[in-house]
Copies of this chain bind each other. A is one copy, B any other.
Amino acid sequence: MLSGKFAITIHILTLLTKFPNDFLSSEFIAGSINLNPVLVRKEIANLKAHHIVESKEGKNGGTRLAKNATDITLKEIFQMTFDTINLGYAKNQPHPDCPVGKKINENLSGLYADLNEKVSLELKNITLEDFSNQF
């Protein structure tokens, strides 16, 4: 899955916030991000599934916000584009007979869950409107 998911999604949403009365095409959005339009449409599909935007098919179609930018927090966007804050895991299954190997992933998960909470707390206080106002 797209690793720039969060960044791409927030870029899309910022554009939609800046043009609240227009249906923006994936082509137009892709031009600003400099990304393939198909990938933009994929992220829009995700946003639609979460009822954050709505699209219109056909000529002059496109996408716009489905709710007010003041009612969307970065926490929501984070949650729909990122599992959790995560400093990574070693790729292979660690050795199950080693006391450390046996529990390392569990303990890392615990740590990451902790970090995730701090980050979520922070993101909950920033609305899409706040973020967009910086532009």
Residues of chain A at the chain B interface (Cβ within 8 Å): 3-8, 10-11, 14-15, 18, 31-35, 74, 78, 81-82, 85, 87-95, 98-101, 103-104, 107-108, 110-111, 114-115, 118-119, 121-123, 126, 131, 134-135
Contacts and interface: CB of A to CB of B under 8 A. Distances in A.
Given A33-B90, A119-B119, A134 B103 contact: yes
Contacts of A34: 90, 92-95, 101
A114 B122 contact: yes
Contacts of A108: 7, 10
A33 B92 contact: yes
Given A94-B32, A100-B15, A88 B6 contact: yes
B122 A135 contact: no
Residue with the greatest number of chain B CB neighbours at <10 A, chosen from A78, A98, A134? A98
A87 B2 CA distance: 11
B4 A94 contact: no
Given A18-B100, A82-B87, A87-B7, A94 B33 contact: yes
A124 to B, nearest CB: 12
